[in-house]
Amino acid sequence: MKTRTFMILVILMAASITLTGMGVSLVTAQVTEIKAPYIQEALPLNPKDPLWGEVELTQVPLVAQLLAYPMSLDTTPRSLKFAIVHNGTHMAFYIEWDDQTMDVEGGGELNKFSDAVAIQFPVQEGELPYICMGDTANPVNIVMWKAGIGAENLVAGSAYGRDAKEREALGLQQVPTSPIEMLPEDAQIWKSQAVYEDGKWRVVLIRPTGSTHPLVPDLRPGDSTSIAFARWEGSKYERGGAKSTSGWYTVKLEQIAVEAVETVTQTQTVTTTQTTTETVTQTQTQVTTETVTVTETTPAVTGAVKGALVGLVIALIAAILALALLYRRGMRPS
């Protein structure tokens, strides 16, 4: 493939993914601001605790990562369900998903990859970071849970923008080793516990609401933040970039109020998006020109526009898929 054609493709893809990202986040932001209810008790780390049977779960559609090497080979749509609660001092994520096989690496096995899940947060307030793990100006904090290994608190995107002194002060290696870096010991604030039963993973992740590290967002009662998910299936040899990911979601930690445990009810739109992803694999239309309309209409999302928007998102994702396929055929990674 000629370099120019390739560059155009890259630009188109970048543009469309940004728009899709914005589109998705705007839709969900408008319709489903997911509430993290306040509960007046210690948060249970055990995924089998009755509390996790009572919380309202939000379903999150996930699509295969097809932009960068190494891409996911399995493009069938996936999903996960999650809930978030807090008790003033700590917040907890409960995440569950179906997976036919339990995959845990280690123990002398060489071709096993762990099932895993990750949640991504913006480090700074304001404009949302680039959905694919942030960038230098706008990094993301990621908690990654891996079967058999547990939770690791990571930072992505910030690696190359800081000088050695600044990096050292942040507890990072002076010379960045990768765009995704392990945060220092004092930032490893997540606790995790997981259960695999009846073809289903259930994972609880808990961290204090307050942060101890500048690259980990401080999330207090009353605060809102955005989150995005990624999930890996070990049985499909997924690791690193071979994964499926979601768009941004907004969550709000409820103010502490006595006897006020609200539940989340807004799951309807999410289901719509689920249908969206399923249609994606069949749709082949390319509507790159229409993307302009998306940016213009999204700020005022009304019921009628919403339908059109969802249609556009479908078309966009289809375009990305088609382009990514082209890209995959012709390129050598370097």
Partner 1 sequence: MVRAQISMVMVLDKCIGCHTCSLTCKHVWTNREGQEYAWWNNVETRPGVGYPKRWEDQEKYGGGWVLENGKLRLRLEAMGKRDPPSIKDYYQPFEYNYEELFTEEIRDQQPAANPINMYTGEEMDVKWGPNWDDDLAGANIYAGMDPNWRILEKEIYLNFKDVFMFYLPRICNHCLNPSCLYACPRKSIYKREEDGVVLIDQTRCRGYRYCVTACPYKKVYYNWKTGKSEKCILCYPRLETGQATVCTVSCVGKIRYMGVVLYDEERVIEAASAPENELVKAQRDLILDPFDPDVIRQAKADGIPENFIKAAQESPVYYMFKRWEIALPLHPEFRTLPMVFYVPPLNPVITALDRRGKYNAAYENIIPTIDELRIPIKYLASMFSAGNEEEVRKALKKLVAIREFFRLVNVEGMSKTEASRVLSEHGLSVRDADLMYKWLALGRDRWTIPTRKVELRMKIPKRASR
The contact set with partner 1 (CB under 8 A) reads 68-70, 73, 105-111, 149, 168, 171-175, 177-178, 180-182, 184-185, 236-242, 328, 331-334
Q: Where are the beta strands (DSSP E) in the chain?
A: 33-36, 58-64, 78-86, 90-98, 116-122, 140-146, 150-156, 180-182, 191-197, 200-208, 224-232, 244-245, 249-253
Q: Distance between CA 285 and CA 290 in Å, rounded? A: 12
Contact present, 174 and 167 (Cβ < 8 Å): yes
Closest separation between CB of residue 287 and partner 1, Å? 29
Name the residue nearer to partner 1 (CB basis): 172 or 205: 172
Closest separation between CB of residue 245 and partner 1, Å? 15
Name the residue nearer to partner 1 (CB basis): 68 or 292: 68
Closest separation between CB of residue 238 and partner 1, Å? 8
Closest separation between CB of residue 297 and partner 1, Å? 36
Name the residue nearer to partner 1 (CB basis): 149 or 326: 149
Closest separation between CB of residue 152 and partner 1, Å? 9
Q: Distance between CA 279 and CA 273 in Å, rounded? A: 10
Task: Report, in angstroms and rounded to the nearest whole number, the Rg of the chain calculated over CA atoms.
Answer: 20
Name the residue nearer to partner 1 (CB basis): 96 or 181: 181
Query: Is the backbone of residue 126 left (phi > 0), alpha (psi -120 to 50) or beta?
Result: left
Name the residue nearer to partner 1 (CB basis): 196 or 237: 237
